[in-house]
Amino acid sequence: MALEFSKVYEQVQTMGRFLGHGYQSASNRLQHALELFFAHTELDPIHDRVRLVRESSVSGYRGAAPLPRPFSEIICGVGSAVAPPPEGTLLAVDGSQIYPDQHAPAPYYLINVGAFVYYHGVSRLPAQFSQPTLAYSPSALQDKDGRAVNNQTINARRSLAEMQTLALWGWELRQEARPLVALHDGGLLKFFGGSDIADAVQIERDYMDALERLHDAGASLLGYLDRSRSTYVISLLHLMRLNEGDITDDNLKTNGDLEGLTDARLFEHVLDPGERSAIMVQNSPQNREYKDRKGADFEIAFFYLNVSETRAVPNIVRIDLPLWVARDELAVEEIQALVLAQCTIQGRKRYPYALTRADELAYIRAGEKQQLEQLIRIEMLNNHVIPEESNKLMSKDMARDRKQQFRLRA
């Protein structure tokens, strides 16, 4: 039986009223946040407050911090759009996956990584590449305790494969036109240390090695986050308005009456088309670990950028940068300009063209998954292995293929 929309329609109406009420409430919080934001025209008090948190027993602050001098920018300042460089090389990488399926005739998972090279300002055809990796051995499908690896582990391995592909191609392209900009879809600060991720320590080590290779290639690495939900700046504003005696882990668990606001919502009312925010870093143990493991160049910074062409419809994205890029003023200007130029290529779809093409190369369609599984069945038969699907899956397929009328037996 299909979804009965007549029964869900009233619930959708209630959902709409709920969202509308929340939006009106957020508008009041937004006005307060904007007042706090534009009040902070001095960096010294901000540095002092962040230093106080870092040197105290309080460990719950995960908000933004201005870059250390001499690279600091006033948080309420903005960076105007600049002209793109005459030439440049943009390398974009994205990935997708097929998760293990307990109902499949044979256990496996697949990671597919797509890479796209765009030559800016050069009369040269783009280059493209994709690499599927099929994993089927027990060592790939099980953790050290013999348990099946979960989807979080597959996601971590995909993120690693994406960064390793960026590093490999970045090194190969190091002699091409500069700047060499390496675009990663998503944030650069990865959390591989969870207990649910198999081989987390090795994955994180290999990920950091890939970052180091990009550093050695002189690449301007960036992570691109469309529709970011992060609250780093909102958390900083919350920290700044607390009295010194009120700075506790309990008071930092939420953002007080600013809770529910995102940085993107704030910067929709701050940044004009093409403008960026100040560059900041996230205050977190994970970011400090990046710095401690590989050096100060590998701490992850970020800024917000309005990639829209019109004031009426702002489009705020977050750009992550390692500090070896964030401290280079020219590199930041080039990234800002090239990202905007890439978004312009696609018109109303405000997203970098190179990342769109990398996604197309990596994306695994439903029909392609079916073809892959048919190939697996054929090869199993060629090797005298009979593929057997689970009874549950076969019964579902029968029910979905044709509806059966229920009849009482005499």
280-304 residue pLDDT tens: 999 999 999 999 999 999 999 999 9
Q: Which tens digits make up the pLDDT trace of 103-123?
A: 787 999 999 999 999 999 999
pLDDT at position 224:
98
Residue, of 319 and 17, whose pLDDT is higher? 319
Domain boundaries of the chain, sorted by first residue: 33-362, 366-395
Q: What percent of the chain has pLDDT over 70?
A: 92
Q: Is the pLDDT of residue 391 over 70?
A: no
Residue, of 394 and 370, whose pLDDT is higher? 370
Name the pTM for this structure.
Answer: 0.89
pLDDT at position 397:
57
Beta strands in 73-210 (DSSP E): 88-98, 109-120, 127-135, 180-185
d(CA 90, CA 117): 6
For 221-241, give one letter per residue: b (16+ CB within 10 A) or e: bbbbbbebebbbbbbbbbbbe
Look up residue 185 and give its two tokens: 């879809």
Closest CA to 389 of 364, 367, 363, 370: 370
Query: DSSP string of 204-231?
Result: HHHHHHHHHHHHHTT-EEEEEEET----
d(CA 146, CA 169): 35
Look up residue 349 and give its two tokens: 């779809």
Sequence-ordered list of residues with C-beta below 8 angstroms from that of 157, at least 6 positions apart, any chain: 111, 203
pLDDT at position 124:
96
Q: Is the pLDDT of residue 347 over 80?
A: no
Place of tokens 């205050």: 283
pLDDT at position 350:
87
Mean pLDDT for all residues in the chain: 91
pLDDT at position 388:
72
Q: Which tens digits make up the pLDDT trace of 167-212?
A: 999 999 999 999 999 999 999 999 887 668 999 999 999 999 999 9
**CB 299, CB 281: distance < 8 Å:** yes
Q: Which tens digits make up the pLDDT trace of 331-345?
A: 999 999 999 999 999
pLDDT at position 9:
83
Q: Which tens digits make up the pLDDT trace of 58-80?
A: 888 999 999 987 888 999 998 89
pLDDT at position 196:
85
